[in-house]
Chains A and B, each alone.
Chain A
């Protein structure tokens, strides 16, 4: 084991042990969420809670509605039924302006990274800051950009274009762009998909670091079990658009259910 692996494992162990979730303070509450596309029911009565300070992993096969779920949470998709409450505000009743304000509290890491191709890394990082904080000075922006790039370990990439970055670097820059506005909730959409195991581990440990450093509550959509084991305080499994099982990593590891076993071999 080299020093980097040792450091990473230490960080992961520390995070899982030290971060305590506040079970009485749900930051996201979802009740009976329904969403269909062309008569195909993707989500059927999904209910879940994300508590303050926890990492909740939502796992399930492809096509079970995991990505649809977080897009409904952030208001990118309108739910057909049910309610989503974030910080006790009902998402579907908010005006566009109120939704914009609420979104400032939420960081969303997209599956593809979604870096703006026409902008450099610096411009990508500055973009959400300038949009959300109108009176911020250039000095403060530079300081923030430097800080988040250091946090994701990519200070040298500041003037590169997204096309010059590898998949893992894009994910990390994307994570930096998300945390630059100090969100209270982080939504990760398949954060390790398409990455090699080593880079996946790096991203997983970054998720833990973000939870620890920025005191975020995170919802991690994934089908990567290693990522789930590393990051999750609690797990919810979706199957056919419904919650199949809820528990912690041990519950899932020890489950005799063949569906769960097929995931946690």
Chain B
């Protein structure tokens, strides 16, 4: 029985004559049975629960919409500050170095393993069909179009996005952002814009680097069970790839970079006051950035499919 039924039954009990209503139970049962009082109390409790739940849902919906509006306002501020006259070029270069150089080893290992695994998994099937010569082209196309950008972006969301969330979050908690503002420095321009632009520029470069190493890893994989020269493998791989395989992938890579930077900075910049909020900021930056990377990928694939 749901809450509404109880509320209805409460009304019926109030309106109808109680003895007639319980005639089948007899007069003794009627004495013991106190439906009006019980139903009234229960109805009250249930209606309070119902209203509490409704209020909680309303608050949740409000919070979600407020967060969404905040996020878009944050993006608007980033765009505005990006085109301001006093661009923090030195800090931008430092961030490019931080994001690019410090992610290089992780992306190198991931790129090589990506190509290696893809080749080891798909080679037996291609051998069965006598199409092993298509292996370099197949691996190259799948890496350049999809696997390279998405996997590299997800790894960057984990490393760079969480790093930004944690760094800015701890700066917020320890009042460093406020200290910067008091020192006549615009923290949005100095901390956020530089990081977002650096991520937007460096993540596509990391993706191209991962693609190249992925094809190299594929050549290593092909040579584990077969024997193919480096030059032949690469020439076959690139003869199958066209400019239109690169272009959509590169374009979506810029969006991946931007979204990782924006989400990482947004979560860190808007972290709460306690130390636990630093962890929350880092964690939610990874989750939200990863989710948005996948959503952008779906949209990019659809647009590319329509255009091609």
**B52: interface (CB < 8 Å):** no
Find chain A residues with CB under 8 A from B276 CB. Answer: none
Q: Does B54 contact A (CB under 8 A)?
A: no
Chain B residue at minimal CB-CB distance from A96: B186
Q: Which of chain B's residues have a CB closer than 8 A to the CB of A127?
A: 183, 185
Q: Which residues of A contact B179 (CB under 8 A)?
A: 108, 110, 114, 116
Instruction: Count A-B contacts at CB 8 Å.
Output: 49
Q: Which of A34-84 contact B (CB under 8 A)?
A: 71, 74, 76
Contact digits for B171-198, partner A, Cβ 8 Å, 1 yes 0 no: 1001110111111111000000000000
Residues of A within 8 Å of B, CB-based: how many? 24
- A96 CA to B180 CA in the complex, in Å? 14
Is the pair A114, B184 in contact by a Cβ cutoff of 8 Å?
no
Residues on the B chain within 8 Å of A181, using CB: 183
Asked whether any CB of chain A lies closer than 8 Å to the CB of B290, the reply is no
The tally of residues in B whose CB lies under 8 Å from a CB in A reads 15
Q: Which residue of A lies closest to B173 (CB)?
A: A112
Whether B277 is near chain A, meaning CB under 8 Å from some CB there, is no
Do B185 and A114 touch (CB < 8 A)? no
Interface of B is mostly: helix
Asked if B183 contacts A76 (CB within 8 A), the reply is no
Interface SS of A by simple majority: loop
The answer to whether A128 and B175 touch across the interface, beta carbons within 8 angstroms, is no
Q: A117–B183 contact, CB under 8 A?
A: no
Cβ of A104 under 8 Å from chain B: yes
- Which parts of B123-181 form the interface with A (CB within 8 Å)? 167, 170-171, 174-176, 178-181
- Name the residue of chain A whose CB is nearest to the CB of B190: A131
CA distance A103 to B179 in the complex (A): 11
Contact call A131/B170, Cβ cutoff below 8 A: no
The reply to whether B182 and A108 contact each other, CB–CB distance below 8 Å, is yes
**A255: which B residues are within 8 A, CB to CB?**
none
User: In the bound complex, how far is the Cα of B171 from the Cα of A76, in angstroms?
Assistant: 15
Q: Mark A104-147, 1 if CB is under 8 A from B, else 0.
A: 10101011111111100000000110011000000000000000
Residue from A71, A106, A112, A114 having most chain B Cβ neighbours under 10 A: A114
Is there an interface contact between B175 and A114, defined as CB atoms closer than 8 Å? yes
Which 9 A-B pairs give the minimum distances between C-beta atoms?
A114-B179, A128-B183, A114-B175, A100-B184, A108-B182, A110-B175, A131-B185, A112-B174, A114-B176
17 examples of A-B residue contacts, CB within 8 angstroms: A76-B181, A100-B184, A100-B186, A101-B184, A103-B181, A104-B184, A110-B175, A110-B179, A111-B175, A114-B175, A114-B178, A115-B176, A116-B176, A116-B180, A127-B183, A131-B185, A181-B183
Name 7 extra pairs, CB < 8 A, besides A103-B184, A108-B179, A114-B176: A71-B178, A101-B184, A103-B181, A110-B175, A115-B176, A117-B174, A127-B183
